[in-house]
Structure 1
Amino acid sequence: MGDTTNLPKYDTPAAAKLLHSVYSVTNIQNKVRTLDGTKVTYSAWTKLFTLHCKGYDVLPHIDGTDPPAKTDPTYESWVKIDSIVLQWIYGTLSDDLLVHILDTDVTAREAWVKIHNIFLNNKGAHAAALESEFNSLKLVACSSLDDYCQKFKNIAEQLKDVGRTVDEALLVTQLISGLP
Structure 2
Amino acid sequence: MKIVFGSWPIRFFASIPFHNFLALVNEAGEPVRELNGGARKADGTYNYQALHGPLTVVETDYSRRDPLYFPEFHIRPSSRFLTLFEGNAGESEERWADALAAARAIECMELRYSLLRRNSNSVAAALVRAMGLTLPRAACSRIRAPGGRCVLPPVTIGRETIVNGHALPDRPH
The alignment's TM-score, normalised by the length of structure 1, stands at: 0.24
The structure where helix makes up a greater share of residues is 1
The alignment's TM-score, normalised by the length of structure 2, stands at: 0.24
The structure where strand makes up a greater share of residues is 2
Q: Greater CA radius of gyration, 1 or 2?
A: 1
